[in-house]
Amino acid sequence: MLEKVDLKKKIGKVEYKEMIDGLREQLGELQRQARDLGIPVLILFEGWDAAGKGTLINELILSLDPRGFNVYSIGEPNEEAMMRPYFWRFWNKTPQCGRIVILDRSWYSKILADRVGQGATAHDVQEAFHDSLSFERQLSDDGTLIIKLFLHISEREQRKRLEKLEQDPATAWRVTEADWEHHRQYNKSLLAIEEIMQQTDAECAAWTIIEAHDRRYATLKIIATVIEAMEKRLAVAAAAANVKKDKSTDKHLPASGLSKIFTSSILAGIDLTKSLKDTEYENSMKFYQTRVRELEHIIYSKRIPVIIVFEGWDAAGKGGAIRRLTQDMDPRGYTVIPICAPTAEEKAHHYLWRFWRNVPKAGHIAIFDRSWYGRVLVERVEGFCRENEWRRAYKEINEMEEQWANFGAVLVKFWLHIDKDEQKRRFEERLANPGKQWKITGEDWRNREQWELYENAVDEMFFRTSTTYAPWTLVEANSKEYARKKVIQSVIEAIEDKI
Amino acid sequence: MLEKVDLKKKIGKVEYKEMIDGLREQLGELQRQARDLGIPVLILFEGWDAAGKGTLINELILSLDPRGFNVYSIGEPNEEAMMRPYFWRFWNKTPQCGRIVILDRSWYSKILADRVGQGATAHDVQEAFHDSLSFERQLSDDGTLIIKLFLHISEREQRKRLEKLEQDPATAWRVTEADWEHHRQYNKSLLAIEEIMQQTDAECAAWTIIEAHDRRYATLKIIATVIEAMEKRLAVAAAAANVKKDKSTDKHLPASGLSKIFTSSILAGIDLTKSLKDTEYENSMKFYQTRVRELEHIIYSKRIPVIIVFEGWDAAGKGGAIRRLTQDMDPRGYTVIPICAPTAEEKAHHYLWRFWRNVPKAGHIAIFDRSWYGRVLVERVEGFCRENEWRRAYKEINEMEEQWANFGAVLVKFWLHIDKDEQKRRFEERLANPGKQWKITGEDWRNREQWELYENAVDEMFFRTSTTYAPWTLVEANSKEYARKKVIQSVIEAIEDKI
């Protein structure tokens, strides 16, 4: 999903000025509170070469009391470190109670280098993930707040920056042949970075992507991210210590008020103008529907289970897409499973229980019309579950899908995307059509009011659950024909890849 | 450590009768409370063939309201299950809120069979551990109480039981060639079982060994284990729900009162009569001390770090053993690190921080006089840390030692064991000797009063932290000469194994 992140975000000078001072003051206060409550904070900067780590770390520490933090730059291990187990030097740098440690690169840089350089076996890499996670979990269990930032720039931006550095005699020395070599491996690294983030994105130590093309935007997002994490951690500590929270922070804009600026990277980048000519649609669909039927028989004989998930906005056309997909299929080979609110029995079990029960037999196809992702969408936005529940759901879902994929299943997950205007048009059309009025309820209008909250939830879902074994497919669905064709094509491709 | 478990434990008929009714009543009440609070409970029976799983499950359910539980027997997967991801049938059997599910065998049986049968690669086995842990963690996070029991019998006992079953025409059919084949692989299975337990012993789903030679003993220990776990879980639930605990259980003997009967399996089995003749001691020590010095040079040139841990009772002779071990060593190659109460700076960090800082350089030897195990010994017994802290310490310690071992370190961990009388004798001897009086303080006498609590803590430490990469060595130390020789011999063997 990293390649889909919208990197064009900018903040104007005026807007920046309006916000930055208040945020800096707020962060300074949070630092004092963390000191008083004895909370250690570890902030880790990873990112592409030339993404501006040094500059942005400077922007961050401008807000902080210099007596309360340390910045460490993590390069190649020196001889002392080479003589000891890998995490020795990181243990030595862990913050003590009440202090902040900022790391310029971390244990992840070596994992990335090993991964891209191919010096490491799959087993080495698994071990590295395991050690990283256990290190972070141990610190977090002990009370340390861990914030992991990844500064993201595009390949083109990286090249531009490296060239600019080279042209200036004062900075040319900073660009080495190794930097260019890394640059040439940008795309390979992108995949490795995605894998690292997926594998090490823990509830106690989640990754945040910082779009780093624009320095003002990146600065604000970094400070807001740190503020949000510290506020959350301090609330927990204050509750535990039975201390009333210092009222003085309340005069500030809550960091969550900024969240609108800092999210929806992926949805915002989807091009909804895509469409199809009628004749093209008719002809291609016939062809694809026949092919799907053939594939249905092949996977049956090869005993491959297929799991297809449909998520998307209300009225995005999930039902129609499913109908077109299954139109020519053999009904003995697939099941459509509509997911609504859980029954009493389902509520009395783990929320994944009902999906496990519906996992298709080898050779069969299960089509979920909405799915387990409800946990991190409607249940999150509407408050039907607690925050810790939807937060840990990302990992639970990834684990479930990984087990299914390891069993040999093909997983295809669709997000059908339309914009707010298109949704309104479709709602009104349904209301005007007596045969479709039943499809639209008060709830649909209410959900619509939460559009931005859903956008944020969808974006986070993409980021945390688009895995190598179960990637999301984003479907531009303002044109129903385009969407239906893309859905059926994607299913065909996913199955053909497997067989 | 499984082979060291004392399997001779018995409970007499009279004693059994005195206890069983009260325990059954107590368990019945806990079941009702768990139902009212909506807590799901999953109890899993694993163990050797012929260990008596069926019988003991029957004993357990005698205490339970039959409307509130299900027993499932887990055999080979049927065709329906084979067509789905492995955990599908276990998800289908998870208990709903307020119900108890008892499993006769579980997901672990397949892991064991794969491990012993060599059909699985290291990667498969790692994946199986990972999937098991994530399944259990997901359920536990959702509120399910998980109790994992392993019914342990010796190879000899197993043979006796299989023969007895075969001789009786009514039961002969129950013994198959496969059972005898398993029996022949007893020792291989023992290692695999130990590995499985180490890898899957989680805070949220810990293993308990049930010594199953004596049916009465096993019955009581199972019921007491379930009672203890349910009481703990109910206390958490009651606190969360802000409900006052039902007083009616308070009339019962607390399960912790039974813990004396059910622990100290390993320490109890140590033969403390072992000793050495003086001349034998003098001659062999000279030889070993020279060899240790040679090895010190070899590990230096090979850059192998060596970590030696000394734990044991007060006055068990740790200091003397360390002196004899290091007597002829090159002082530039080793450091002795005495561990006392943490400093203020150490307290401001994770408790493992100070040990990570002291990890030896490659090629050097670090000898810890007391160690990170203080967390699960003195800190546990004296209440210097919270229960969740020492409970999660087992895993933290294993992870740390595993990282060191993967780096190439040799780890040797000694528990110097003496009995209570011998300790008293040594204390009095020290008091009588003006040169040694400083060695003995009021704290030593106070610790002595907690002897049984320490025994339990030591036993649990052995069980949870004796790993393939860092096993414990138990040293019979009533005879100082014997202990010193065993220590130096063990160090030599461990290093020789590595080089």
pLDDT of residue A202: 86
**The total number of residues written for chain B in this structure:** 499
> Measured over all CA atoms, what is the biggest interatomic distance in chain B, rounded to whole angstroms?
77
pTM assigned to the model = 0.80
> Which residues of chain B does A404 touch, with a Cβ-Cβ cutoff of 8 Å?
85
B356, B365, B387: which to substitute to probe chain A, counting the most A Cβ within 10 Å? B356
* Contact between chains at B348 and A98 (C-beta distance less than 8 A): yes
Domain B2-262: state its class: alpha beta
Distance from CA of A121 to the nearest CA of B (A): 12
The answer to whether B2 and B212 have CB atoms below 8 angstroms apart is: no
* Contact between chains at B351 and A139 (C-beta distance less than 8 A): no
Banded model confidence at residue B236, pLDDT cuts 50, 70, 90: confident
pLDDT of residue B282: 85
The answer to whether B269 and B6 have CB atoms below 8 angstroms apart is: yes
Among chain B residues, the shortest Cα distance to A80 is held by B361
Residue-wise DSSP of A336-359 = EEE--S--HHHHTS-TTHHHHHTP
Same fold yes or no, B2-262 and B270-498: yes
pLDDT of residue A247: 47
The CATH number that domain B270-498 falls under is 3.40.50.300
Displacement of CA A417 from its chain's centroid (Å) = 17
**Residue B136 confidence (pLDDT) above 60:** yes
Instruction: Count residue pairs from A and B with Cβ separation < 8 A.
Output: 118
pLDDT of residue A124: 85
pLDDT of residue A261: 63
Pair of tokens at residue B31:
């079941």
Task: Name the CATH superfamily for A272-498.
Answer: P-loop containing nucleotide triphosphate hydrolases (3.40.50.300)
Banded model confidence at residue B43, pLDDT cuts 50, 70, 90: very high
User: pLDDT of B102-130, one tens digit each?
Assistant: 999 999 998 888 888 877 787 888 889 98
Q: Is the dihedral of CA A78, A79, A80, A81 positive or negative?
A: positive
pLDDT of residue B250: 45
| pLDDT, mean of residues B327-349 | 89
The answer to whether A243 and A35 have CB atoms below 8 angstroms apart is: no
How far is the CA of A405 from the CAs of A253, A410, A469, B91, B166, in angstroms? 44, 6, 6, 17, 44
Distance from CA of B360 to the nearest CA of A (A): 7
* Contact between chains at A409 and B96 (C-beta distance less than 8 A): no
Contacts of A265 by beta carbon, 8 Å cutoff, 6+ apart = A4, A5, A6, A9, A209, A211, A459
Banded model confidence at residue A243, pLDDT cuts 50, 70, 90: low
* Block residue for tokens 């497919």: A473
Give the closest of A131, A403, A409 to B131, CB-based.
Answer: A403
Banded model confidence at residue B252, pLDDT cuts 50, 70, 90: very low
Banded model confidence at residue A248, pLDDT cuts 50, 70, 90: very low
Cα separation, B214 vs B46, whole angstroms: 17
> Which residues of chain B does A94 touch, with a Cβ-Cβ cutoff of 8 Å?
349-350, 353
Distance from CA of A241 to the nearest CA of B (A): 15
Q: Three-class SS of residue B365?
A: strand
pLDDT mean across residues, chain A:
89
User: pLDDT of B77-89, one tens digit each?
Assistant: 888 888 899 999 9
* Contact between chains at A359 and B88 (C-beta distance less than 8 A): yes
* Contact between chains at A96 and B349 (C-beta distance less than 8 A): yes
Terminal-residue alpha carbon distance, chain B: 25
* Contact between chains at B303 and A83 (C-beta distance less than 8 A): yes
B289's enclosing H/E stretch is: helix B278-302
Pair of tokens at residue A79:
């001889």
**Residue B187 confidence (pLDDT) above 60:** yes
Radius of gyration from C-alpha coordinates of chain B: 25
Banded model confidence at residue A8, pLDDT cuts 50, 70, 90: confident
pLDDT of residue B233: 92
Give the closest of A88, A123, A403 to B359, CB-based.
Answer: A88
Give the closest of B96, B305, B407 to A348, CB-based.
Answer: B96
- Give the residue from B227, B234, B37, B39 showing the smallest Cα distance to B142: B39
* Contact between chains at B139 and A350 (C-beta distance less than 8 A): yes
**Residue B343 confidence (pLDDT) above 80:** yes
Tell me the domain boundaries of chain A: 2-262, 272-498
A41, A99, A134: which to substitute to probe chain B, counting the most B Cβ within 10 Å? A134
Q: To the nearest 10°, report the CA torsion of A74, A75, A79, A81.
A: 30
The answer to whether A308 and A491 have CB atoms below 8 angstroms apart is: yes
Distance from CA of B293 to the nearest CA of A (A): 21
Banded model confidence at residue A250, pLDDT cuts 50, 70, 90: very low
Q: In sequence order, which ranges of A185-315 are alpha helices (DSSP H)?
A: 186-200, 215-241, 259-262, 265-268, 278-302
- Give the residue from B309, B317, B316, B354 showing the smallest Cα distance to B336: B309
Cα separation, A391 vs B498, whole angstroms: 44
Which stretch of A452-456, B25-29, B237-241, B394-398 has the lowest confidence by average pLDDT?
B237-241
Give the closest of B361, B392, B406 to A127, CB-based.
Answer: B406
Among chain A residues, the shortest Cα distance to B352 is held by A91
DSSP B492: H
pLDDT of residue B1: 74
* Contact between chains at A83 and B350 (C-beta distance less than 8 A): no
| pLDDT, mean of residues A232-244 | 79
Banded model confidence at residue A260, pLDDT cuts 50, 70, 90: low
Among chain B residues, the shortest Cα distance to A306 is held by B84
Give the closest of B40, B80, B138 to A396, CB-based.
Answer: B138
Give the closest of B40, B127, B403 to A87, CB-based.
Answer: B403
User: pLDDT of B56-101, one tens digit each?
Assistant: 999 999 889 888 899 999 988 888 888 899 999 999 999 999 999 9
> Which residues of chain A does B84 touch, with a Cβ-Cβ cutoff of 8 Å?
305, 359-362, 407
**Residue A249 confidence (pLDDT) above 50:** no
